[in-house]
Amino acid sequence: MQQYVTLNTGAQMPMMGFGVFRVPDLKECEDSVYEAIKIGYRLIDTATAYHNEEAVGTAVRRAIADGICTREELFVTSKLWVTDMADEKTAAAGIDASLERLDIGYLDLYLEHQAYNDYFAAWRAMTAAYKAGKLRAIGVSNFYPNILTNFCECVEVVPAVNQVELHPYYTQEHGLMAEESALDVMHRYGVVPEAWAPLGGGRYNPFEEPDFIAIAQAHDKTVGQVLLRWNIQRGVVVIPKSTHVERIRENFDVWDFELTADEMATISSHDMGYSGTRAKHFEPSFVRMVLGKE
Ligand code: NAP
């Protein structure tokens, strides 16, 4: 049975969702989202930067028209890209453009994709859209401990969610130099953690890790299911991506087993304490690249 976490708005957010990053083929995206909803997923995660919001909206409308679920049962998330975060007016237009592309009435959650450009001005536009009911909750993504702390201490509406890279190789349980880890800061301010790349995002090769294979075998589950279950048991929302129906089904089937405290610790012990992806949020060259400056 799907589990839910309560946001600071009082809304219930499903703990298992479906991501559509790097699914540029719109028909493939639409069909994957439709299949995911049919299998039981109720949370869908897209973004302006993924260029597939229209396909997500089409799949959602199709699922509702086919009687699979109601709009109210779904939890659709999208994100504002950094070039739309130059000032309040640009951000307001960016939010409206997402709503128009999705065409599903409102969004359950909308995130600032990165803590770059004028993310305070953009947040004022997000707050206005939240108060107007266009966005039912607002949150952030890739906000690391110092930035999230400053943000939560200064804004009127505290983010409901922070979506960051979170898997056994980057657990976010330990700060490197920071006193508090990314998860500690989220817990302090009541911000729900959401994992991007919960399966490693096609990197790190977790599927051949002997520790993970042994734990999976002990529960008659797959490594993917163990990794997703590990995050859910830590109170972290997961949004695995796949365009293969059998994997979409496999990833959702994580409700009938429980990892022991020892197994949780073994999985967490693989933490490298840093990201092995190209997304080096602390590197000046990465910031310039995301801003389109180099
Ligand atoms: P992920 O979900 O960890 O991994 C996806 C990769 O794993 C794909 O290559 C997929 O291949 C494969 N896969 C899926 N299920 C599998 C299984 N059961 N066994 C083996 N391989 C499996 O990575 P992600 O897509 O990078 O992250 C998930 C979602 O997070 C994204 O789709 C997006 O919505 C969000 N995200 C957000 C940010 C951000 O900055 N906020 C960044 C990255 C991602 P196939 O598709 O071929 O099955």
Which CATH number goes with the domain that contains 161? 3.20.20.100
Mean pLDDT of 213-219: 98
Nearest alpha carbon to residue 112 among 136, 133, 83 = 83
For the question of residue 50 being annotated catalytic, the response is: yes
Ligand 1 atom nearest to 244, measured from its CA: 48
Which residue is closest in CA terms to ligand 1's atom 27?
197
> Is the minimum distance from the CB of 199 to ligand 1 under 6 angstroms?
yes
* Residue 112 CA, ligand 1 centroid: distance in Å: 20
Which residue is closest in CA terms to ligand 1's atom 25?
241
Range from 97-101, 153-157, 159-163, 170-174 carrying the lowest mean pLDDT: 170-174
Q: What is the pLDDT of residues 255-287, one digit of tens each?
A: 999 999 999 999 999 999 888 888 888 889 999
> Is the minimum distance from the CB of 244 to ligand 1 under 6 angstroms?
yes
- pLDDT band for position 174 (cuts 50, 70, 90): confident
Number of domains making up the chain: 1
Query: Exactly one of 50, 116, 119, 204 is catalytic; which is it?
Result: 50
Q: What is the pLDDT of residues 50-88, one digit of tens each?
A: 999 999 999 999 999 999 999 999 999 999 999 999 999
> Is the minimum distance from the CB of 49 to ligand 1 under 6 angstroms?
no
- pLDDT band for position 134 (cuts 50, 70, 90): very high
For residue 221, give its domain range. Answer: 4-290
Which residue is closest in CA terms to ligand 1's atom 42?
196
> Is the minimum distance from the CB of 196 to ligand 1 under 6 angstroms?
yes
* Residue 241 CA, ligand 1 centroid: distance in Å: 4
Query: Residue 176 above 70 pLDDT?
Result: no
Q: Residue 13 in contact with residue 192, Cβ under 8 Å?
A: yes
> Is the minimum distance from the CB of 247 to ligand 1 under 6 angstroms?
yes
Mean pLDDT of 18-38: 97
Between the alpha carbon of residue 195 and those of residues 34, 75, 164, 201, the distances in Å are: 22, 16, 6, 11
pTM of the model: 0.97
Nearest alpha carbon to residue 107 among 79, 83, 88, 142 = 79
What is the model's pLDDT at position 177?
66
* Residue 224 CA, ligand 1 centroid: distance in Å: 11
DSSP codes, 252-282: H--SS----HHHHHHHHTT--SS--SS--TT
